[in-house]
Every structure is written in C-alpha cells, then in structure tokens.
Homo-oligomer: A and B are copies of this chain.
Amino acid sequence: MPFCDVSRDPTEIPLFQHRQTSAPLPSFARDPAKDLEPPADWIDPSACVAAELALVEQTLVRSIRSVEPALTEIASHLICGGGKRVRPMVTLLAYKAFGGAKTQDIVDIATAIELIHTATLLHDDIIDGAETRRGKESAYKKFGLKNTLVAGDFLFIKAFEFAGKFDDTIVQWTADACTQLTEGEVLQGSFNRNAAVTVADYIEIVRRKTASLFETGAKIGAYLAGGSSALVETARDYGLNLGIAFQIVDDILDVVGHKELLGKPTGIDLRDGNPSLPIILALKGREKAVAEAFQSGHPTDEKIREALEAMGRGAAIQQAKKLSRTYAEQTLAAAVQLPPSVYSNGLRSLIELIIDRDF
C-alpha cells in the first residue's frame, strides 16, 4: 500500500505521469483537436506542494484511526489505495498561490476534502454495486454493505471534525459542497438509463457531483490565505471549471481508457446506466448500439463492447474531448488572473495533467 507509507516523498507518487517541464508534450502536441497550449514554464504541480501533500497523507492516515479496527481497515483500503489527491492538490496550491503560510490549517482543510471525496466513493460503490475500485476489489465487495456504509459515515464525520474548527464561512462552504454532492447523486439517479438526458443536465450533475469539491477546495484555499473577494471568486472559477473538465476526462476514459491504468474496467457508465458525456453525445448522434446498451437493464458484455466501439469510432469522443478543452480553457482563463508565483504556475500546469491523463 504505497500511499500509506507516509515517509515516502509524495513527488514519487504517480499522481499523474511526470513529464519533462520544457517542451510541449508529445501526446498533447499530436492531438489534432488540441486548442490549449501547455504553459512554457510547465512545472509539476505535486512537486510545488510536496511537503504539504506529505502532511495530508499523514493526516489522512491519523484521522482514520478508530477503536473499531474494521472502520480503519475499510477506510485504509480506499485511502491507501492510490487516489490521485487532485482535490487536496488544488486546495494547497490555491492557498499557497495567495501567500498562505499556516500550513497546518490548509492541510486540515485539504484532508477534510479528500475524506469527503473518499466517503462518497464508499457510498457510491454501494449504490452502483461496484466490484472494483483503484485496481482492486471495492470496499463494498470486500467488506460488505453494512460496514462499508458505516465507514462512509465515519469518513464524513472525520471530515467535519476538521472543517468544523474553522470559521462559519468555511463550515458553510464545506456543508454546501457536501449538500451538492448528495443533490448531484440524486439528479444523476433521476437520469439513470434515461435517454432524455441532455448535455445541460450532465453539466449540472457534474457541477454538483464532482466540481463542487474542486471549487470549494480552491475557494477555501484563496479565502484562508486572505485573498480578496474578487480573487476568491477567481479561485472558485478555477476549481469549478477544472472539476468539470476532470469529470469529462473520466467519462472519456471509461470509453477509451485501459483497464490496467484505470484500475477498473471500462464501460462502467453503460453497465450502470449512468449518463456520461460520451453516452449523451452518442445518443444525440443516434448511435443505436449505445442507446440499446444504455437503456437496457442488464446489458450483456457483448452489447457493452459494441457500444464502446461505436462511441470510439463515432464523433462522441471527439466532441467530449472538445468540451473538456473548453472547460480547460476557462480554467486557464481563471488561473492567469492569479498573482504570479510558482504555485499559480502549478495551478496552470495542473490543467494540462487533468486533460491529458490516462488514468
């Protein structure tokens, strides 16, 4: 469990593929649909906040200790199982970009945000009956419904133990983000296997279900560091747009990604009937195989394979990539308004990693 080894330098952790910081990147440069240039001064974002990320790891491990070993075991199974830590990274970078210097404060908030994210993963896996997560058996599969459900509650509580010690604004923003997560889950559920779903519905689901924690991490970072109201809003825009781009890429990888890199099979959205962006675009493009697999209660593996191939061949993936880049551009437009520093540079560089990732 490499992520649990808190003595390890987080820059060694394969958060994303580390790259050379000089030239434009091959796969990015080769992509004909690209319309976003990596910054010339590209920097590894995780390296910018390596010390703080190491503290987040330590705080995560410490926070999940319980008198009931089962709770610690289930929480560790996921927390120590290879998360990208992208939400803490955004939070830490935003704080440092605004000159924040109280490391423990922002580490506590970044930890809270990762704990909330992990709690929702545990509960999502119950809801979706997921078999695998981060390359291994899901907690739900391994530990059963009962203890996994309770472990999710436990992580929510631990998150609020951190967030609750800050001022009312931070408590409210954190609670609002969590409320949005639940509201996003319900909205997504209402479009399960429902071909009437639109791209606008999708963006609303993603805004709530994924982007809310990115947005909240970024704005709390800026706020805690003493950023002006206008710049806190800019940080918020950064997080919001990055979160949407992140989810779109996740959805694309569920179609064209590699099982080994993803740590889970592809085609999960089709199997579960979740309205991902490629599925919605394929439905719009009248891809029959996709419509059949998406709307079927229990699509066969063969039907899913056919639908994935149809999406890969058709325009859906290219259109989804284009939309992810639109959100990436909006993220960049926010990032360039931040005070220049290695950290705001890290925030700009992070956009490219989010867009151009394989897992």
- Residues of A participating in the B interface, judged by any CB pair closer than 8 Å: 66-68, 70-71, 119-120, 123, 126-127, 145-147, 149-154, 156-158, 160-161, 163-165, 168, 171-172, 174-175, 178-179, 181-183, 185-187, 189-190
Instruction: Decide: A189 and B147 in contact? CB cutoff 8 A.
Output: yes
Instruction: Decide: B175 and A171 in contact? CB cutoff 8 A.
Output: no
**Across the A-B interface, the 5 shortest Cβ-Cβ residue pairs:** A164-B171, A164-B164, A161-B175, A160-B160, A68-B186
Q: How far is the CA of A147 from the CA of B123 in the complex (A)?
A: 11
Q: Which residue of B lies closest to A153 (CB)?
A: B182
Q: How far is the CA of A158 from the CA of B70 in the complex (A)?
A: 26
Instruction: Decide: B146 and A127 in contact? CB cutoff 8 A.
Output: yes
Instruction: Decide: A185 and B127 in contact? CB cutoff 8 A.
Output: no
Instruction: Decide: A153 and B123 in contact? CB cutoff 8 A.
Output: yes
Q: Which residue of B lies closest to A74 (CB)?
A: B186
What residues of chain B lie closer than 8 Å to A146, measured between beta carbons? 127, 185, 189
What residues of chain B lie closer than 8 Å to A120, measured between beta carbons? 153
Of B145, B160, B186, which is within 8 A of A147 by CB? B186
Of B70, B147, B161, which is within 8 A of A171 by CB? B161
Q: A160-B164, A163-B164, A171-B161 are in contact. Are A150 and B186 (CB under 8 A)?
A: yes
Instruction: Decide: B150 and A123 in contact? CB cutoff 8 A.
Output: yes
Instruction: Decide: B163 and A178 in contact? CB cutoff 8 A.
Output: no
Instruction: Decide: A182 and B164 in contact? CB cutoff 8 A.
Output: no
The minimal Cβ–Cβ distance linking A322 to chain B, given in whole angstroms, is 29
Instruction: Decide: B185 and A150 in contact? CB cutoff 8 A.
Output: yes
Which one of A149, A172, A174, A190 has the highest number of Cβ atoms from chain B below 10 Å of its Cβ?
A: A149
Instruction: Decide: A187 and B68 in contact? CB cutoff 8 A.
Output: yes
Q: How far is the CA of A160 from the CA of B153 in the complex (A)?
A: 12
Of B145, B161, B178, B186, which is within 8 A of A70 by CB? B186
Q: Which residue of B lies closest to A163 (CB)?
A: B164
Contacts A/B (CB < 8 Å), 6 sampled:
A68-B186, A150-B186, A152-B153, A160-B171, A161-B172, A164-B171
What residues of chain B lie closer than 8 Å to A168, measured between beta carbons? 164-165
The minimal Cβ–Cβ distance linking A66 to chain B, given in whole angstroms, is 6
